[in-house]
Structure 1
Amino acid sequence: MRYICRYTDEVSRVKWEDVQVSYLRDVVSADAPRLETRFRACWTADSLHIRYECEDDHVVSTMTRRDEPLYEEDVVEVFLDPFGGGTTYYEFEISPRGVLFDALIHNRLDGNKDVVTSWIAEGFQAEVTKGIDDGWLVYDVRIPFADLDEAGVPHAGAVWHWNVFRIDDDRDGVRHYSAWSPTGLVNFHVPQQFGELVFVKE
């Protein structure tokens, strides 16, 4: 899978409705999920910007501190692998309250991984607002390239590996897992299934 991420001089001028939209699917079956999740992304000279638009009829979000296990409740996520090998990548999560989680992942690709939550992306930001229609949440996320260690600022034509996810609890306590590029498992840490994020500057 491939997402074309276009450059913009100023994200505040972006008309998000004109940015390429992609949809999440059930992480195992690749079927349409119970609730719709769509996202769009663009990049500026210093950051990757992602907007999630999430249909949500029951919000589960009690945690208030950075790097708490947000994945135990409702959350949207993005994994970024600028290096392409699947063994080192970055994990970013945002709760409906706007609480952040970030970690550096070392994945041995044998089912074992190290999650380094002491790693902090200092400029990582997110704002969560209600959508125009009731029952929707909008997440606006900024991830500065400067925070991604030696990855640096991508050049036009660069290709990173990535995946976009959501976890949502329904009213019956059933957890629903969705992904842009389904992994075939209730497990997001399958870098072999990451898709491509292509940086385009026109």
Structure 2
Amino acid sequence: MNYLFLLPLLSVVALSTAGAAEETNGHGCTDATLPRLDVPHCSSGTSGVATINRRLVTLKDDFPESTVELCYTDISLELKFQAQDEISFLVNETYVNNDSIWMWTVMEAFIATGDHDPTEYLEFEVAPNNVIYTARIHNPNKDFTKHSAAFIDDWDSYPITSETTRDVEAQTWTSDVSLPLSMFNVAAPEGTHWRMNFFRTFYASSTDSTAEQEYGAWNPNKLVSFHQSPCFGKVRLDGDDKAASEKCDEPSLSGGKSSKSKSGKTKLVKRTRV
């Protein structure tokens, strides 16, 4: 997420860190305020739902709502991103996977294993045109004042899939994403604990060149930065509803074709780098 965008903010982050240690380094998150989410096995037919409707900095709940539905299989973490009230669908059509799509319209997931405040995590982003960004982030200061990113683009070793649908008339877009558990070094997912946060960037206008990018989160912080890892919520992959004899369908490994349905919805499927 927005590395170039965040560079001018690093001095602000540093000042906040120095002056507000009692507020957990200035971002306003404490363990007592972190959201908790139980995620069921996909065979239960249900999902855990994280709602993105609060703004970064102000923490107000007036951000255009979107949700992330989560369940897991024995081999994958399944996420369904759904954005409402989408006005612009603003993307850079020249961008391919792992370009700076965070500068435009995206939904994002930051994911780490374990119950602790992470210094390393997966950053996943998807745009309305189904272009994705996938990188392993090393954030040793937990506030993005020092960081590095290792991009993931070996799609045979990491069979990450995304299927994205846009409905311009309804002002919605949805992306079904499958992440292999092997990339998190998780072989037995039931009962495991994770730290996650979810974000959305939004433009209120597709015609006004001066419109500013707006930021919403599942658990927002007081800074214009998604990489405040102490604010990542706590997630548990719950096994209580798992049917031992059932298996979820394998994630689709369809190629990168686009098609137009009769309803006017644009559906894109991608597995390989474009």
Q: TM-score, normalised by structure 1?
A: 0.87
Structure 1 residue 193 and structure 2 residue 231: aligned? yes
Asked if the contact 1:154/1:199 (under 8 Å) is kept, the reply is no
How far 1:185 sits from its partner (Å)?
1.1
Matched to 1:90, the amino acid is L
Determine the C-alpha separation between the residues in 2 that align with 1:85 and 1:20: 21
In proportion to residue count, which structure has more strand?
1
Matched to 2:174, the amino acid is V
1:134 maps to what in 2? 170
How far 1:8 sits from its partner (Å)?
2.0
Structure 1 residue 5 and structure 2 residue 34: aligned? no
- In the alignment of these two chains, the number of paired residues is 194
How far 1:33 sits from its partner (Å)?
3.5
**Root mean square deviation of aligned Cα:** 2.1
How far 1:60 sits from its partner (Å)?
0.6
Determine the C-alpha separation between the residues in 1 that align with 2:91 and 2:137: 24
Structure 1 residue 166 and structure 2 residue 200: aligned? yes
1:53 maps to what in 2? 82
How far 1:5 sits from its partner (Å)?
0.6
Matched residue of 2:74: which SS? coil
Asked if the contact 1:104/1:119 (under 8 Å) is kept, the reply is no
Matched to 2:161, the amino acid is Q
In proportion to residue count, which structure has more helix?
2
Q: Which aligned segments of 4 or more residues in structure 1 are displaced greater than 4 angstroms?
A: 118-121
Q: More displaced, 83-92 or 112-121?
A: 112-121
- Identify which of 67, 82, 88 aligns with 2:113: 82
Matched residue of 1:9: which SS? helix
Asked if the contact 2:74/2:189 (under 8 Å) is kept, the reply is no
- What percentage of aligned pairs have identical amino acids? 23
Asked if the contact 2:37/2:49 (under 8 Å) is kept, the reply is no
Q: Where does structure 2 lack aligned partners over 5 or more consecutive residues?
A: 1-34, 241-274
- Identify which of 135, 141, 157 aligns with 1:103: 135
Q: TM-score, normalised by structure 2?
A: 0.65
Who wins on radius of gyration, i.e. which is larger?
2
Matched residue of 2:43: which SS? coil
How far 1:65 sits from its partner (Å)?
0.9
2:51 maps to what in 1? 23
Determine the C-alpha separation between the residues in 2 that align with 1:133 and 1:19: 27
Determine the C-alpha separation between the residues in 1 that align with 2:120 and 2:48: 27
Matched to 2:47, the amino acid is V
Determine the C-alpha separation between the residues in 2 that align with 1:132 and 1:144: 30
| Cα distance change of structure 1 residues 50 and 23 upon mapping to structure 2, 3 Å threshold | same
